Amino acid sequence: MRSFNLLTLLNKKENKDANFFSESFLLETLKEVGFEDVEVFNPPADGSNSIHLNAKLSDKNGNALRIRVYHSKNWLKFEAYPDSEDSFKNPKSYNKLSMTKRFFDKYIETVPRPTYYFGNRATTDLLKKCKEMANNFFDDIENEFKKHCRKF
Please check the confidence at residue 5 and state whether its pLDDT lies above 50: no
pLDDT given for residue 91 in this prediction: 56
Predicted TM-score (pTM) of this structure: 0.78
> Which residues, including other chains, have CB under 8 Å from residue 37's CB and lie 6 or more apart?
54, 55, 56
> Which residues, including other chains, have CB under 8 Å from residue 119's CB and lie 6 or more apart?
82, 95
Count of C-beta atoms within a 10 Å radius of residue 35: 23
Please check the confidence at residue 7 and state whether its pLDDT lies above 50: no
Instruction: Fill in the DSSP letter of residue 50.
Output: -
Q: What is the mean pLDDT of residues 28-54?
A: 85
pLDDT given for residue 46 in this prediction: 66
How does pLDDT run across 89-118, given as a tens digit for each residue? 555 556 788 999 998 887 888 887 777 677
* Domain assignments of the chain as residue spans, ordered by start: 20-148
Residue 98 near residue 75 (C-beta atoms within 8 A): no
